[in-house]
Structure 1
Amino acid sequence: MKNSKRKSYQSLILSLVFMLVILSGCGASASSSSSEGGMPEVIRIGIMPSEEGEMNRSQEQLATDITEATGIPAEIFVAEDYNMVIEALRAGKIEIGLIGPFGYIIATERANAKLLVRSESDQQSNTVILVRNDSPYQSVQDLKGKDFLFADPASTSGNLYPRATLMKELGLSNKELDSFFGSVAFSGGHDKSLLALANGNADAIGTSSLMVPMMAESGLIKEEDFRVIAESDPIVGGAPLLYRQDLPEELVTQLRELMLDYDTKNPKFLESVGAARFVEGSDSDFDPIREVAKALDMSPEELLKK
């Protein structure tokens, strides 16, 4: 667990350094890199790393497809965490970003970001509380004094829903929850949580139900090595693709048209984010997420400080 904590602290330091860099440019206008007519000279896409590494081929293809659809060069920015994507949107350092449903709520409040499209899956997903299959833990009550890992502070299935599930199972408030465990930390991502659990660096984790089969298929873990001891209600909303509010409407339309048909153009990318397609969606699609966040009795800012 010490190694897991050290990695979590290192990830936090990297995130803070990055945010200082991007915020240092806030004095300049977000449109300073735009051409006449308000079109940006480059479209930067903020995204989380894949399990295969910093950037996989389907993500590289996304940049190529955006360039072809808009006539503007596009490039992928691989972020350390969701908060980094949100801060980059706020500072005008990226034009679009793919994050989780809870991250959407934070981004609309803090970065005035807008919904381009959201993902939709044929497979229902929720949050699961996982332990190793060979562990003695049979319920969340058995985890008292143990080491627990969340994924990312701005993650829906890696923080928001696991917290709500643990609160319900244990009959505790969110403020009482951390003291129930021996230690609580953030791994920096769902894949990192699963690997930490597999390697014995955590006793239990909260993660998306889609992650275990996805990582097992890639050969990084074995599905039979893990066991579910609690799970949440289904998560709604899908993964939102956001855009900076000052982008020209013409460009927003081009990007939306591309993404609404993207399941036929680059299905591997949709698979990499656990989705089948993109749909238009609306802000009200995320109201159930807002209700769960409200039940935690903590603001997004408080949750991000965890």
Structure 2
Amino acid sequence: MQISSLAHALPRTLISAAVASAFALVAVNASADLSSRYVDNDGDMIADAPSDESQWADPDTLVFAYTPVEDPAVYADVWSDFLEHLSEATGKEVQFFPVQSNAAQQEALRAGRLHVAGFNTGGVPVAVNCGGFRPFAMMAAEDGSFGYEMEIITYPGSGIETVEDLEGRQLAFTSETSNSGFRAPSALLRSEYGMEAGEDFETAFSGSHDNSILGVVNEDYDAAAIANSVARRMLARDVVAEGDYEVIYTSDTFPTTAYGLANNLNPELAEKIQDAFFSYDWEGTALESEFANSGEAQFIPITYQENWAVIRTIADANGVTYDCD
């Protein structure tokens, strides 16, 4: 699987009236670019379940993975109660898979070793097009609101007070598939500030938002582009403290991690998995304790076609293509 990208124009306010002019030649509802392994007969931009029942998967053990974090063991505990609920709802054993990178998570899905997962915002189109991922849920606040912002952060005393001050310094990204950790800031820096990676500033790839934040706090990186929802949870766990870093830029709001499943699961099993997400009682759980730190309290239904339109637009503006085969 190969993903290529070239940064093109993107305005600072990503979900504003400026989008209309900035993307005059880019369709917001860009068509899916599914691998030849999949079909989309119903036009919802995600892979259909196989029509041949012999191709349906009905594993004894479901494997679940949450998007890569700095310390996967922490999130194994956070998700433990939910995974027990998922096991009861499906009648299956459920195993937490502690992925170390976005690439490892994508490959596990594509290889059939991953059945249920939460993929980061920018990684969702890759998982959909190259791995047959069928997203159906996202975390939201009690009132149904959802999302996070991309921030560019630096450490106190770095001498970086504005985006322009990044010139000649090092900016850390997370991975090339990350929306807030790479694609959005790359397009922003080029379009609004005329700054090219490798020419106007040096780059590094940390592998995760946690690593980028800790890298800035420890002064390993001059600055980093991060998802502020991750930062809020790290602050709440006292992994970092207020004042450890400073924010020099905040974007408009993006959708957050999408939860979904592999397209080839037995449809009856797939329905039980979806029902488990929406029937889960968060009250008093480790999941509630952790994600309340970023204002989330429930799972809500989503569609890739609607909720990821702005992310597909950013990908198109960056010249992203999917060579999955």
- TM over 0.5, yes or no? yes
Cα distance in 2, alignment partners of residues 37 and 201 from structure 1 = 47
Cα distance in 1, alignment partners of residues 55 and 124 from structure 2 = 30
Q: Which has the higher helix share?
A: 1
Name the SS for the 1:145 alignment partner. coil
Structure 1 counterpart of 2:182, from 137, 159, 169: 159
| Partner residue in 1 for 2:121 | 101
Change (3 A) 1:101 1:213: closer
| Partner residue in 2 for 1:298 | 320
Structure 1 counterpart of 2:65, from 18, 36, 46: 46
TM-fit CA distance, 1:38: 4.5
Do the aligned residues in 2 keep the contact of 1:148 with 1:202 (CA within 8 Å)? Answer: yes
Structure 1 counterpart of 2:88, from 55, 65, 68: 68
TM-fit CA distance, 1:53: 4.5
Q: Does 1:91 align with 2:111?
A: yes
Do the aligned residues in 2 keep the contact of 1:149 with 1:206 (CA within 8 Å)? Answer: yes
Change (3 A) 1:244 1:123: closer
Q: Does 1:277 align with 2:277?
A: no
For 2:183, the aligned partner's letter is L
Q: Does 1:111 align with 2:131?
A: yes
Q: Within 5 A, what are the aligned runs for 1:123-202?
A: 124-172=147-195, 176-181=196-201, 183-202=202-221
Deviations 1:111-170 (A, max 9, x none): 122123222244652101101122211111111111111122222221222223322431
% identical aligned pairs: 24
Change (3 A) 1:219 1:265: closer
Name the SS for the 2:243 alignment partner. helix
Q: Does 1:218 align with 2:237?
A: yes
Deviations 1:187-214 (A, max 9, x none): 1111111111111111000001223332
Do the aligned residues in 2 keep the contact of 1:140 with 1:169 (CA within 8 Å)? Answer: no
TM-fit CA distance, 1:244: 0.9
| Partner residue in 2 for 1:10 | none
Q: TM-score, normalised by structure 1?
A: 0.78
Deviations 1:49-98 (A, max 9, x none): 55554244222223222111111111010111222212111110111111
For 1:188, the aligned partner's letter is G
Higher relative contact order (CA 8 A, sep 6+): 2
Cα distance in 2, alignment partners of residues 36 and 42 from structure 1 = 17
Cα distance in 2, alignment partners of residues 147 and 114 from structure 1 = 36
For 2:319, the aligned partner's letter is D
Cα distance in 2, alignment partners of residues 38 and 56 from structure 1 = 25
| Partner residue in 2 for 1:20 | none
Name the SS for the 1:223 alignment partner. coil
Name the SS for the 2:148 alignment partner. coil
Change (3 A) 1:194 1:93: same
Change (3 A) 1:295 1:263: farther
| Partner residue in 2 for 1:15 | none
Cα distance in 2, alignment partners of residues 234 and 270 from structure 1 = 22
Change (3 A) 1:40 1:247: same
Cα distance in 2, alignment partners of residues 37 and 124 from structure 1 = 33
Q: TM-score, normalised by structure 2?
A: 0.74
Do the aligned residues in 1 keep the contact of 2:72 with 2:99 (CA within 8 Å)? Answer: no
Do the aligned residues in 2 keep the contact of 1:101 with 1:156 (CA within 8 Å)? Answer: yes
Deviations 1:285-304 (A, max 9, x none): 101101111111233569xx
